Homo-oligomer: A and B are copies of this chain.
Amino acid sequence: MNQQQYPSSLLENAVNEFAKLPGIGRKTALRLCLYLLRQSEADVEKFGDAIVRLRKEIQYCRVCHNIANAEVCDICSNPARDQSTICVVENIKDVISIENTQQFKGLYHVLGGIISPMDGIGPSDIEIGSLIERVKKEKIKEVILALGATMEGDTTNFYIYRKLASFPVRITTIARGVAVGDELEYADEVTLGRSITNRIEFSSVIK
């Protein structure tokens, strides 16, 4: 496709920036820019400010690696949460998905990825070491493995299970109510909630 001509370099610049976002093409980017031009200056500034502040001020919880407003996230610092149960997830979206089921009252551990030899991601590239440390130092009774039902998810589950086998901790995995091959974020809340409630011993999966 040939390069579009825009009547203003300001517009061209904004369209280019929008079009960098995943799933946003140049036509959609232009539509969004023209929409913003029709909004008040204050509203557009609020939008721009929200984005820049998100990136600049966001922090990652030093305990569970979830995003946070402070050094430790609201979940880890909440005394009402069960401090002896850790739910291991791939990323922040999974924390949000599980929180929305309102079925889980323990803590999380965000790996920041899963083991994937095809993508060159090994155990040391994700937050497995810090998970082992948590189990070692804190009074953890149960680790729930809540990764996607993919081959990479299974590999990561198994790796963590082996690493934790020597600790006096129960290792469970969420029930496969989620269709095999699907990512966690696309599951509906009822299915996802049930799969947490009906979690089973990981040893029963691999035997």
Contact = CB atoms under 8 A, between A and B. Distances in A.
Contacts of A17: 46-47, 50-51
Q: Is the interface of A mostly helix, strand, loop or mixed?
A: helix
Total copies of the chain: 2
B32 A54 contact: no
A8 interface: yes
Interface string A13-27: 110111011111000
Contacts of A96: 4-7, 30
Interface string A130-156: 000000000000000000000000000
A48 B8 CA distance: 18
Contacts of A11: 54, 58, 67
Given A67-B11, A96-B4, A96-B7, A37 B55 contact: yes
